[in-house]
Amino acid sequence: MATKPKVNRTNPELWEACKREAVEKMGKFSARAMQHAVVLYKSRGGGYVGEKPAHSGLDKWKSTKDKNIFD
């Protein structure tokens, strides 16, 4: 079995804050809340170190019609 590429966040404290904010906004912990947390994290200067996989299971989610779900 192939191992998954490892990607690490460069600012774990910022990630935790973004995660809390996203869960509060969405009302519960969910995949959509974590997707929003990533948007917050990146917009606030958070980054990643490591190799990103070519495709992820969320590729279809990113291309859904409800682009404004976080507004």
Which tens digit of pLDDT belongs to each residue from 44-65? 999 999 887 766 666 666 666 5
Structural domain contains residue 32: yes
Structural domain contains residue 27: yes
Sorting pLDDT into bands at 50, 70 and 90, what band is 40?
Answer: very high
Structural domain contains residue 63: no
Structural domain contains residue 15: yes
Residue 36: phi, psi to the nearest 5? -65, -40
pTM for the complete prediction? 0.69
Structural domain contains residue 30: yes
* Burial (CB count within 10 angstroms: exposed 0-12, middle 13-18, buried 19+), residue 17: middle
Structural domain contains residue 53: no
Residue 8: phi, psi to the nearest 5? -115, 145
Q: How many domains does the chain have?
A: 1
Domain range holding 21? 10-44
Contact assessment for residue 7 and residue 52, using Cβ atoms and an 8 Å cutoff: yes
**Look-up: residue for tokens 């690490």?**
8
